Amino acid sequence: MTTGSAESVQQRIREFLEERIKTNIVVDKDLFASGLVNSMFAMELVVHLEQEFGVAIVGEDLKLDNFRTVERMTSLVCRLRDAPVTDHA
Amino acid sequence: MSEAASAPLGVLGAGVMGTGIAALAIGHGIPVVLVDVSEDRLADARRRVDAQLRHARLMGSVPARDAAGLTTAVELAAVAGATAVIEAVTEDAEIKAKVLEEASSLFAVGTPIISNTSGIPIGELGRFVSRPDELLGIHFMNPAYLITMVEVIRSARTSDETMAAVTGLLARMGRRGIVVRDAPGFVTSRLLHPMINEAARIVGAGVATAESVDDLMRGCLGHPTGPLRTADLIGLDNLVDALSTLWERTGEESFRPCELLREKVAAGHLGRKSGKGFYDYEKVLS
Ligand SMILES: NC(=O)c1ccc[n+]([C@@H]2O[C@H](COP(=O)([O-])OP(=O)(O)OC[C@H]3O[C@@H](n4cnc5c(N)ncnc54)[C@H](O)[C@@H]3O)[C@@H](O)[C@H]2O)c1
């Protein structure tokens, strides 16, 4: 994983959120604690990341803490994208 | 798995609420038999139960354990043998009467029948079941798997045994019930539905936009999402149905569904479930 592609992941996540929230986002801001996004949007965010980056977010990874900030979402996506495909069944 | 052996919960109607209640139950290890009128609706419902269970896990609102099984069926008879049955079909007294009548003929004595109606008096629905002492209302909120409190409606005829059985069921699903007496709209719909109706009237009259109404209710009055986002979550068709049933039973003008709500339903803008209501869910944040 090069820094460049992590940066582009972060950029794409930020752009998606900024378009939906219509606010500029600081990448380490807790989106849930600040009330910028709510629990209903949380699941859409998960599905969006899965589709946009071709990853499956399941098991232990499916927890709100991984989605609190753009930075955390970026590291989750990068980790899952780089991980060998495992059987989550 | 020990859950596999436990008797299932029957859920009738696989719409917004039926699927949410099914996700809540299986997430807590209680198997569910979910019934609706067509295979198409059921195929869609299975997908939505899965998605809602994931949502529940994401929010940490179901225990971290394997989910119990979900079975779907188009015949009501599939719920015979259930430990209890929750009716969550369309908010229409005639449809509910028919479903409850048929369901009640299938069950052994001692099987609680629970209606998730938003506001039709439980005593009125009791006319259609063979044992009205086994009928009560549990008004699950939406999404059922995220909101831990429920409104429990005890009719004049609901027995202590039924109340005890249902209290046990709610505890297994991690829900806390507040028991109220029977009246059109109970407590929550009697307060919430006229508020939403008035919020829609305000928008219809051009006094403020939906965003402004919701922002004011959130920012000034501490409402979690605002009444019109709540309306979109509920489903505007269900809202109009629920308001109509309340208006018919009370004559209160505040329950008469306002024009803007009826227009949106006629145009197929039903809220989140159709992608558009007061908000466009392709474009804005939920
Ligand atoms: N939507 C909410 O936020 C909310 C909240 C609390 C309570 N409720 C109440 O819950 C009930 C269900 O509401 P909903 O929003 O899920 O409605 P919905 O329209 O999303 O779903 C109703 C379902 O019932 C099915 N149905 C109709 N007739 C049937 C029959 N004879 N047998 C089996 N299934 C049948 C329909 O096909 C549909 O899938 C209503 O009484 C409603 O007032 C709704």
Domains of chain B: 3-181 (3.40.50.720), 188-274 (1.10.1040.10)
Confidence of residue A5 (pLDDT cuts 50, 70, 90): confident
Q: Does the structural domain A6-82 have CATH classification 3.40.50.1820?
A: no
Mapped onto helix, strand or coil, the DSSP state of residue B73 is strand
Q: Which helix (H) or strand (E) holds B181?
A: strand B176-181
Q: What is the DSSP letter of B64?
A: S
The CB of B18 under 6 Å from ligand 1? The reply is yes
Q: Which residue's entry shows tokens 């051009």?
A: B206
pTM: 0.94
Average pLDDT over residues B159-188: 98
Q: Chain A residues with CB-CB distance to B under 8 A? A: 20-22, 37-44, 46-47, 62-64, 67
For residue B143, cis peptide bond before it (omega within 30 degrees of 0): yes
How far apart are alpha carbons B149 and B245 in whole angstroms?
24
- Within 13 Å of residue A10, how many CA atoms lie on the same side as its CB? 15
- CA–CA separation, B132 vs B120, rounded Å? 15
- Which of B50, B55, B234 would you mutate first to test chain A, the one with the most A CBs within 10 A? B55
Confidence check: pLDDT of B81 > 50: yes
| pLDDT tens-digit readout, B190-213 | 999 999 999 999 999 999 999 999
Q: Is the pLDDT of residue A3 over 50?
A: no
- Residue B131 tokens read as 């044992």
SS3 B68: coil
Are B227 and B191 contacting, i.e. CB atoms less than 8 angstroms apart? Answer: no
Substitution target from B16, B55, B58 for chain A, most A beta carbons within 10 A: B58
pLDDT average, residue stretch B176-190: 98
Q: What is the pLDDT of residue A39?
A: 87
Pairwise CA distance, residues B276 & B17, whole Å: 19
Here the ipTM equals 0.88
